[in-house]
Amino acid sequence: MTKAKTALRVVDPDEKAQRRKPLTVSAAASDGDRLDLLVAMRARVATAVEDPNTPARDLAALTRRLMEIAKDIEVLQAAVEQGGADGPVEDSAFDASAI
């Protein structure tokens, strides 16, 4: 996956982040990261759950999947906030005596 590069700039301390327009599932799969994909999938599954034409037999599975996706989003967002996701990993020198 390749992400489009955006120009970085310094922001004012009181400036709020602008929300990005949600991607479609196919756009998130091809151009976004995992969080983008999960957010798009959550929106798509939520639409199916709310659709009155969705067969009753599918509602339990869709609702369960919606809850799983929401939990995955929370985990990824927490990792990003803590700086643990999508950050560079620094390699250290190999120490053969550690094995």
Q: What is the pTM of this model?
A: 0.63
pLDDT of residue 1: 47
Give me the pLDDT at residue 95, please. Answer: 84
The overall average pLDDT reported for the chain is 85
Residues of the chain with pLDDT under 50: 1
Q: How many other C-beta atoms are found inside a 10 Å radius of the C-beta of residue 83?
A: 8
From 44, 86, 94, select the one nearest 69 (Cα to Cα): 44
Closest to 62 measured CA to CA, from 48, 72, 78: 48
> In the prediction, which pLDDT does 79 show?
87
Task: Give the tens place of pLDDT for each residue, 70-79.
Answer: 999 999 999 8
Q: What is the pLDDT of residue 84?
A: 60
Instruction: Write down the residue that tokens 């034409």 correspond to.
Output: 53
- Tokens linked to 49: 């759950």
